[in-house]
Homo-oligomer: A and B are copies of this chain.
Amino acid sequence: MVKKPTPDRAGPDRVTSDRATPDATRRSDRSRRAIRDAALALVAEVGYPKTTVEGIAARAGVGKQTIYRWWPSKADVLLEAFLALGEQAARDAGQEPYRIPDTGDLAADLKAVLRATVDELLDPRFEAPARALAAEGLVNEPLGREFVAKLLEPQLQLYVDRLRAAQDAGGVRPDVDPRIALELFVSPLAQRWLQHTGPISHAYTDTLVDYALNGLAPR
């Protein structure tokens, strides 16, 4: 005879099970990796909306509960997977704490970095999960904030640093706010990529840098 544990009826505020955080030391790294891989693969293959927790579990050879035990939603699985993918890529490139190069020529440095960004945005391995996460983040604010804080903002900070160096060197007006300034060339690229409002290319980002540095009005 099976005994069913008495359900806790006492707590009216008991909406979600406040089961204690599981013991992370006993976590199966094999499962964790399999889940990340399955999530990335499914998003790439069938798209984000058709990617389901059940599908990820089946593909990873994992029980559904193993996913729900460690992640609150499929978006968070994908976020971790994408973050891990980025770290892996960075490790492969052998890059320690990344900085935008400073050759003394601000325009050239920015163009080089943006060209690399264009190449990455067009890489199908990155495109599907990145776009999916961005979309989810628009509508799911906590995830959006995490996405921005963990992925976007660190990248943008590199531009802030480079622009501040340029200000010190006299290549950028000292009254300019670097956090706003960087958006002049970063946001157009982001919008074209996200919303398909135009083609993206090296020539395009070069133009953005020129316009942003020199302005539209005649000098």
Contacts and interface: CB of A to CB of B under 8 A. Distances in A.
B208 A180 contact: yes
Contact of A135 (B50, B139, B171): B139
Nearest to A173: B218
Interface string A142-181: 0011011000110010000001000000111100110111
A141 interface: yes
A185 B46 CA distance: 35
Nearest to A20: B4
Interface string A37-80: 00000000011111000010011010000000000000000000
A34 interface: yes
Nearest to A30: B7
Interface stretch (A90-98, A114-122, A186-194): A186-194
A55 B1 contact: yes
B4 A19 contact: yes
B139 A48 contact: yes
A197 B1 contact: no
A218 B170 contact: yes
A131 to B, nearest CB: 6
